[in-house]
Amino acid sequence: MIDSPELLLDYDAGTKPAGKAELYGQLRERINLLLEGETDWLANLGNAAAEIFAWLPHLNWAGWYLLRGEQLVLGPFQGRPACVRIPLGRGVCGTAAASGESQVVPDVNAFPGHITCDIRSRSEIVIPVKVAGKVVAVLDLDSSQYGTFTEEDREGLEALAADLVLLIDWERALNS
């Protein structure tokens, strides 16, 4: 639970960090405080998606896909309705899950096999979430602008995903 009033300020309310490293540091701190003491995986992923969507600029979608067998299944998100099931290896999310590697895509239309869930999306970043070396989910962020995501975003989001590995009961999430 957040008990520091300064952490309740929105990104657009004048608390803009100096650079992306600081932005992600503040976002990680906000999410850690927000999820502190809560054990429900659904509530935690929902709040994490909402905070990411509210805090990072230029997003039109932010959310989670959970690995269930050989496909990713839509989890908590912010944005317009999305694809519900994505086979491993298909699209940006399926590629990230199958390879275990983050995908930074400046132009989704140039990505082979891209799955269009929202025609407004122009760029995308997908971060695999790994528990004990095994992919259990992906964090998917879309932007309506080309080239939104950089290697700095990848690094910041990978660190955020590593934090969440410790804050989410992934066994319950995947078996619910």
The Cα 96–Cα 102 span in angstroms is: 6
Start-to-end CA span in the chain (Å)? 24
Residue 167 has what DSSP assignment?
H
Q: Give residue 85's region: left, alpha or beta (phi > 0; psi -120 to 50).
A: beta
Expressed as residue numbers, the domain containing 50 is 5-174
Average pLDDT over residues 124-128: 98
pTM above 0.75, yes or no: yes
Count of structural domains within the chain: 1
Q: Please, what is the Cα angle at 36 between 30 and 38, to 5 degrees?
A: 125
What's the pLDDT at 16? 61
Residue 84, pLDDT above cutoff 60: yes
Residue 20, pLDDT above cutoff 80: yes
Q: CATH number of the domain that 125 lies in?
A: 3.30.450.40
Q: Please, what is the Cα angle at 87 between 84 and 90, to 5 degrees?
A: 110
What's the pLDDT at 87? 96
Residue 61, pLDDT above cutoff 80: yes
Exposed / middle / buried, residue 3 (Cβ in 10 Å: 0-12, 13-18, 19+): exposed
Could you tell me if 138 and 64 are in contact, meaning their C-beta atoms sit under 8 angstroms apart? yes
The Cα 43–Cα 111 span in angstroms is: 32
What's the pLDDT at 21? 93
